[in-house]
A and B are shown apart, each in its own frame.
Chain A
Amino acid sequence: MISKKVILTGSLGVGKTSLFNRFLYQRFDEKYLTTIGVKVDKKVIEVGGRALNLLVWDIAGEMNQDKVPTTYFLGSSALIYVFDLTRPTTYENIQQDLEYLKVLCPGVVIRKIGNKKDLLEADKLDEILKNVPGAIDFTTSAKTGENVEEVFISIGEQLLKNA
């Protein structure tokens, strides 16, 4: 079976751990708990009839990506850049962060994710999305699970296509 490393990255408090817990364990905790260092777990998904082993890394959030230890990115195949739709400071530097990550991890699949969709009404969400620099790939809710599985399936499809 093919195995691929996927990293959840982004600023602190954006919901990386919540997305990790939702995808890996189908659970959600309302309480915010700071992530220290890194946690890694895996899940096998099926993409187009093929099994793919995703090794998912949940790393401590940093305001800027160049503060994240570069060893975390070794051997990664995909990055999920998570920001909080309700906090503009978490997506103001998105372009610079992504440029940095593309240099650090050339050729990796990247998905830009706006999380905490459940906290916003539809019209407010549309307004926010107009202000986010560049196109984003998914808006998600770790709380309700909306689009979480879809993010990883999308990554899996791209990884198998590139393989």
Chain B
Amino acid sequence: MHDIATEDQGNSKLHYLKIDSKGKLLSSKGTLLTLAPGMLLLNDFPLLESILPVLIKQAKANEPRLPVKFEGVSSTNPQLPGFYDYSFESSLGETGALEVLWVITDRTAFYEKMQAEQQKVNERKLKD
């Protein structure tokens, strides 16, 4: 699991969130989001609400805790108006409780370019 303290905090395109099994924010590093410590994130992030039970289930079943990744996420949260890659990785914290590290990477410029190119390809396919 990444260690938030040792990650490159100078990279403004990344945001690191550590949350507990209830979706409560434990720590936040980065410039993409402004979040109050201790706030519950599930209501504001439906993708997190969807995936958190899966991560908890995997952890309880002692399944391999590989990062779960989603590319090109178009968020409904007004603080994330573009396209982002999400990575979720669960681990056991110092107290033995489940913690999830959620890494958000802003890839808006990349996906906007991809979308414009894909739009042309798809429009051609739809005409055929």
- Residues on A lying within 8 angstroms of B by beta carbon are 3, 5, 12-13, 32-42, 55, 57, 60, 69, 71-72, 74-75, 87
Contact = CB atoms under 8 A, between A and B. Distances in A.
Interface in B72-96: 72-76, 83
Given A38-B47, A38-B73, A33 B119 contact: yes
Contacts of A74: 51, 54, 68
B50 interface: yes
A112 to B, nearest CB: 21
B114 A36 contact: yes
Question: Which 6 pairs show the lowest CB-CB distances between chains A and B?
Answer: A37-B72, A75-B54, A40-B47, A39-B74, A36-B72, A40-B46
Contacts of B119: 33-34
Interface stretch (B2-10, B25-33, B97-105, B120-128): B120-128
A60 B70 CA distance: 12
B118 interface: yes
A87 B71 CA distance: 28
A12 B125 contact: yes
Interface residues of B, number: 27
Nearest to B85: A37
Contacts of A12: 122, 125-126
8 contacts: A36-B72, A38-B47, A39-B74, A40-B50, A42-B46, A69-B70, A71-B69, A87-B126
Nearest to B107: A37
Interface in B38-60: 46-47, 49-51, 53-54, 57
